[in-house]
Chain A
Amino acid sequence: MFEPVLTKYVNEPNGYTLDFYVQHGGYQAMKTALGLTPDAIIDSVKKSGLRGRGGAGFPTGLKWSFVPKDNPKPKYLCINADESEPGTFKDHVLLERNPHLLFEGCVIACRAIGAKTCYIYIRGEFYHLQKQLEAELVKARAAGYVGTNILGSGEDCDIWVHRGAGAYEAGEETALIESLEGKRAQPRLKPPFPAVVGLYGCPTVVNNVETICNVPVIIEKGAEWFASIGPEKNTGPKLFCVSGHVKKPGVYEAPMDTTLRQLIYDYAGGIRGDRQLKAVIPGGSSTPVLLPDKLDTHLSFDGMVAAGSMLGSAAVIVMDETTSMVWVAKNLIHFYKHESCGKCTPCREGVDWLYKILDKIERGDGEPRDVDLLLSVCENIGGKTLCPFGDAEIAPVLSTIQHFRAEYETYIRTGQSPVQSDFRAAEPVGAH
């Protein structure tokens, strides 16, 4: 099995402390980077092939190179720690067990883009992580790794943790910036892109926690080493989150030529109760559901697109044969209905109708035309919104209908689910 890089010490009792980190070679990459020009750092990250780990898979070095050098305004780095995509908990592990790797990455990235200030935007629900991050930041600052004149190099980089208050949409980069400015987390019209007009109207780069944690590794071990891991254009170590009906749910680090089958059966121990696998969501709730026939596909950005889905945030949700796909769609649409920021009409109103129709089917009042009606509503949402939320919310509906249309039709005809689930309540309360 792959030797972990980012999560090597996550099970060490003191692995999160500054002392442990420094004793195990921490902050060495930063020392190297302080001697490199910003262009050399960007070049190295470009050569490594690192792609953003937040969901879109955009090349990180390229994103950094969009920051204009001649702009006199201050520049900012924002770390997206608003990990909210259902099924995702990889950043949780890094924030909790390897905070100094993140800080080190922040300092290097700030040097690359010419920023002096970095905000770590952490979701409100991660208060327990925020307290620890702040405590470790104090230590890093006292030791001279963060703050003004870092290790006597003349380089300044201040890192602050900013707590959100419960909004999935804050994970979209322009919505994150809005939220950081003290407003509703709603996306902005692009262009201009944040690299030119971002936080406080200044050039800004927004990167995911895992993306930034890869940066010190690239500087330390070299771009060639990084590029040699995994398939072409899908390089470097990757964290996969496995949850749902598996024996050993958790975060597993592996290269992106790992297949879905290896991840589910070798890493996560297989399906709980040795039941049959029914469907897999490979990259968080916003990515289309896959059937077991795609189990031998590489879990890479390009491999998942070829299989008809997306790698997204690499959040693999496993569902066994007792799962009703109509209920899955309804559960996720409830999530999107709750989280839609309300800015774009197709998303806000459309998701409400999707929920109403799915709820009607689930109550046993569905009509034969409802499946096509769902598809028609989806068609009016996809590609018609400012941010990818619209495309995300239709993925569970479209893909469950694509693969399980017969199940929808049986449900509508008989008025009850053709599948019985022992994990559901006999009489659910609230909006289940």
Chain B
Amino acid sequence: MSFHPQMPYGEGWHKSDRFIPEEGPAFAFTPEHRAQLEELCTHYPPERRKSAIISALYMVQAQQGHITGNAMRHVAEVIGCSTADVEDVVTYYVMFFTKPVGTYVLQVCRTLSCALNGAEKVTAELCRHLHVKPNETTADGMFTVMEFECLGACDRAPVIMVNNEHWHECQQPGDVPALVEGLRTKGLAALSGCHLVKERT
């Protein structure tokens, strides 16, 4: 029986594919990250260390780029919860990478306001210029192109976020080669940053 009586029981509708993480190399937090995490845990009641899972996972990504089975087990041990609890969180939130990504992850907003201002062209141009499809990484490991849902800066569309942390605004499709070249030579300094932030410097 399908979901809707008029809808045929088609191919590819079943969505219960289980995520099986790559085990990866042995993992432990650096002493700095560990200390940082313990400090973060003091923000919550002592028996609620689980609240710090998301922060711990960001630290995993800061340390090794993406999240692996071994890293999830380590996080579970440090937080004091089950590995399933950690896996539950990893597989839900879009900012956690479960596969290796490039040095620069270009997260292009694709939702309406950015799309009305040419985001489709920006993504297409990035993919053409870097010879990748969305969610793929260039052969040299430099760039991953991703489509992201609304980043919350619709007045400065189209917006690109880089590596979950850095902001780049009003990207015109024609300037894509300049952005890529800028990242190659100047690194993150090539990004516009947050415009209002820029105003005050």
Contact = CB atoms under 8 A, between A and B. Distances in A.
A419 to B, nearest CB: 13
Given A88-B154, A183-B89, A432-B110, A163 B55 contact: yes
Contacts of A166: 93-95, 148
Nearest to B132: A429
A335 interface: yes
A424 interface: yes
A209 B22 CA distance: 39
9 contacts: A85-B150, A87-B113, A124-B54, A128-B165, A166-B94, A244-B116, A285-B112, A425-B123, A430-B123
Interface of A: 10-11, 13-16, 74, 83-89, 92-93, 96-97, 119, 123-129, 132, 160, 162-168, 179-185, 200, 241-245, 249-251, 281, 285, 315, 317, 319, 323, 328, 331-332, 334-335, 338-339, 341, 349-350, 352-353, 369, 373, 376-377, 380, 423-432
A328 B111 CA distance: 10
B200 A13 contact: yes
B13 interface: yes
A273 B35 CA distance: 55
A250 B113 contact: no
B134 to A, nearest CB: 4
A182 B150 contact: no
Given A165-B95, A165-B96, A353 B164 contact: no
Interface of B: 3-4, 6-7, 13, 15, 43, 45, 48, 50-55, 57-58, 79, 81, 85, 88-89, 92-96, 110-113, 115-118, 120-121, 123-125, 127, 133-134, 147-157, 161, 164-167, 173, 193-194, 196-197, 199-200
Given A165-B93, A317-B116, A323-B116, A182 B149 contact: no
9 pairs of A and B residues whose beta carbons are closest in the complex: A165-B93, A182-B50, A243-B154, A166-B94, A249-B155, A430-B134, A243-B113, A166-B95, A182-B53
A353 B3 contact: yes
B152 A164 contact: no
A86 B4 contact: no
A432 B115 contact: yes
A160 B13 CA distance: 42
Nearest to A170: B93
Contact of B92 (A167, A243, A338): A167
B116 A423 contact: yes
Given A124-B54, A241-B154, A250-B155, 14 more contacts: A84-B149, A96-B196, A128-B166, A128-B193, A128-B194, A128-B197, A181-B51, A183-B85, A243-B116, A244-B116, A315-B154, A317-B116, A353-B3, A425-B173
